[in-house]
Amino acid sequence: MSRRWLRGLCAAATAILLSACQASFFATVNGVRSDSGSERVAGQVFDRDSGLRLDVYQPEQTSADAPIVVFYYGGSWRSGKRGWYRFVGRALAAQGIVTVIPDYRKFPDVSFAELMTDAANALRWVQANREELGSSGPLFVSGHSAGAHVAALLATDERYLRRVRVQPEVIAGLIGFAGPYNFLPIVDPKVAEVFVDDAGAYDAQPINHVDSMSAPALLFHGADDETVRPFNSKTYAAALSKAGVAAEYRQVAGLSHVRLIFEVGSGSAVDTDISQRIAQFVAANSKPTLGHADSRSPGSTSDD
């Protein structure tokens, strides 16, 4: 895909994502991305009670210790579908990563706590079905926007995983794209509704749960993001570093909130750098350890 085409596509993305044309838009994005090097297993049920399903993207050749990434999509905790993010699954699978993209129920149909239980149950399914996935490798959580927030809570607030009988230590790291990790005070009434009250909003801030056992993080944020300010990733990385946890914050020049995630798998120079950073992060955190430390120096930050 040409950079000019990508720029034009992403310039219209925000308006389209807020309209009834979301499905058509994502179909266009996925239609121009290659399926090469990955195999998709679609519609696997992971929670029979709610009927929730997930998709698995396998590398062309999956090694027995291949890393696994569970990717949670965004949508203000209110919208989104796993099938829209095939381009993410393909891109990560092309890096040799087994990629799992689950659905989860949305607010206001369910509470935020129930949404988080869905996210935790997807990770439980992955842990219980490693033989089917063909890998015993390290498990990472990832996401974009609200999905990055969900992933970060799983990586910091151990209560969600313990409630579904998963040990928090199974998470080897977090790969976040434009996540709201530190978004108080909430000024948008629609966002405030999701978290019910001030106590719920405070408890839902990943930054408030950081301690020495939090998972290491690689955090990407577009410098031109006006939806979720880069402050979120910058301060979250700093909090992890202060707790002695390795964290890398990558501010990417020229990218908005939406365009950041569409760069993944685009074949552009920006995507190449993002892909390389992900590969390095996964490799650095793939060796079994007692804690969550990796070989990088804590608190590394950079502007791309």
On the question of pLDDT at 146 being above 60, the answer is: yes
The predicted structure's pLDDT at residue 290: 37
pLDDT(151) > 90: yes
Q: What pLDDT score was predicted for residue 24?
A: 56
Q: What's the pTM?
A: 0.86
- Under the banding of pLDDT at 50, 70 and 90, the label for residue 268 is confident
pLDDT tens-digit series, residues 64-73 = 999 999 999 9
Q: Is the pLDDT reported for residue 288 higher than 90? A: no
pLDDT band at 175 (very low <50, low <70, confident <90, very high): very high
* Per-residue pLDDT, 2: 47
Q: Which of 27-31, 78-82, 217-221, 268-272 has the lowest mean pLDDT?
A: 27-31
Position 296 pLDDT exceeds 80: no
Residue 182 lies in a domain: yes
In a domain, 24, yes or no: no
8 in a domain, yes or no? Answer: no
Mean pLDDT of 21-49: 68
Model confidence at 53: pLDDT above 70:
yes
Statement: residue 60 has pLDDT above 90: no
Q: How confident is the model over 247-275, as a mean pLDDT?
A: 91
Beta-carbon count within 10 A of 26 CB: 21
Supply the pLDDT for residue 61: 84
Task: Please report which confidence band the pLDDT of residue 17 belongs to, taking 50, 70 and 90 as the band edges.
Answer: very low
Residue 125 lies in a domain: yes
Of 26-30, 40-44, 275-279, the poorest mean pLDDT is in 26-30
Q: CATH code at 83?
A: 3.40.50.1820
pLDDT reported for residue 303: 55
Would you say residue 1 lies in a domain? no
pLDDT at residue 15, as a whole number: 45
Average pLDDT, the chain: 87
pLDDT-derived band at 294 (thresholds 50, 70, 90) equals: very low
Domain count within the chain: 1
Q: Tell me whether residue 280 is in a domain.
A: yes
Q: For residue 271, name the pLDDT band (cuts at 50, 70, 90).
A: confident
Average pLDDT score over residue span 17-43: 59
Please state the rounded mean pLDDT for residues 173-193: 96
26 domain-assigned = no
In a domain, 92, yes or no: yes
Domain hosting residue 182, numbered range: 34-303
Top pLDDT among 61 and 180 is at: 180
Residue 111 has a pLDDT of 97
